[in-house]
Amino acid sequence: MIKILVVDDEPQIARALRINLSAHGYEVATAPDGAQALRAAAALVPDLVVLDLGLPDMDGTEVIAGLRGWTSVPILVLSGRAASAEKIAALDAGADDYVTKPFDIGELLARVRAATRRGNAAGDSPVTEIGSATVDLATREVLRDGAEVRLTKTEWQLLEVLLRNPGKLVGQRELLHRVWGPNYDRETNYLRQYMAQLRRKLEPDPARPVHLLTEPGMGYRFRP
């Protein structure tokens, strides 16, 4: 079942979307503001986010950036503002589509189909092999030698950023920014702490990592 997270502060619209989407076979969750949206997205790992830009607590692009930090889930933006600058800002922040209110529900559903179709067609298998461990980013499960390994929320966020950039070096500034937020740029000790935990849980020999590598002075890298 395809999971959709609807983010809107107006109860009527949220309700209407929920009814229409679930009538077409989607599993729907809703969040009334940006903070709860980010939490819900982390908890549910939806297949699509429908995001209203007029949220009370955060700017729309901030929500998009918060999501894009750790997931490439399709984001479909709803907005009352039709100005091109608004659209460009949202799209460049990482949104996949932009629909202005009032919108035709049939068109919205078609755009939802287009966005979810892409996600499925992209077909990048969400499971990643790390030595003897298997990481499934979609279901948030780690199996190692048949046994399940538990990761905490922070560990997941850190691991996901690395796994979504296979082979690529991710700077420590960027990692801190994406996992802990913009105010933790200097706390590199967090990184060391959690990288060590991830290595203990995933690497065959945590003292000699093969997949979760350190690039001294620069950042970390996941090698498949």
Partner DNA sequence: ACCGAGTGATCAAGATCCTGGTCGTCGACG
Partner DNA sequence: CGTCGACGACCAGGATCTTGATCACTCGGT
Least separation in angstroms between CB 130 and DNA? 16
Cβ proximity to DNA: between 85 and 208 the closer is: 208
Helix H, strand E, coil C: the string for 84-107 is HHHHHHHHHHCCCEEEECCCCHHH
Q: How far is the CB of 12 from its own copies (least distance, A)?
A: 21
CA distance 141 to 36: 23
* Sites of contact with its own copies (CB under 8 A): 72, 84-85, 87-88, 91-92, 94-98, 104, 106-107, 109-111, 113-114, 117-118, 121-122, 124-125, 138-141, 152-153, 156, 167-169, 215-218, 221
> In the complex, what is the shortest distance from the CB of residue 164 to its own copies, in angstroms, rounded to a whole number?
9
Q: CA–CA distance from 183 to each of 57, 59, 62, 186, 218 (Å)?
A: 18, 18, 14, 8, 19
Of 30 and 71, nearer to its own copies (C-beta) is: 71
Nearest approach, Cβ of residue 53 and its own copies (Å): 15
Where on the chain is the footprint of DNA (CB under 7 A)? 150, 152-155, 172, 180, 187-190, 192-196, 199, 206-207, 209, 214, 216-218
Counting beta carbons within 10 angstroms of the beta carbon of residue 81, is it exposed (0 to 12), middle (13 to 18) or buried (19 or more)?
A: middle
Instruction: Report the residue number, 54 or 171, with the smaller CB distance to DNA.
Output: 171
- Helix, strand or coil, per DSSP, at residue 200: helix
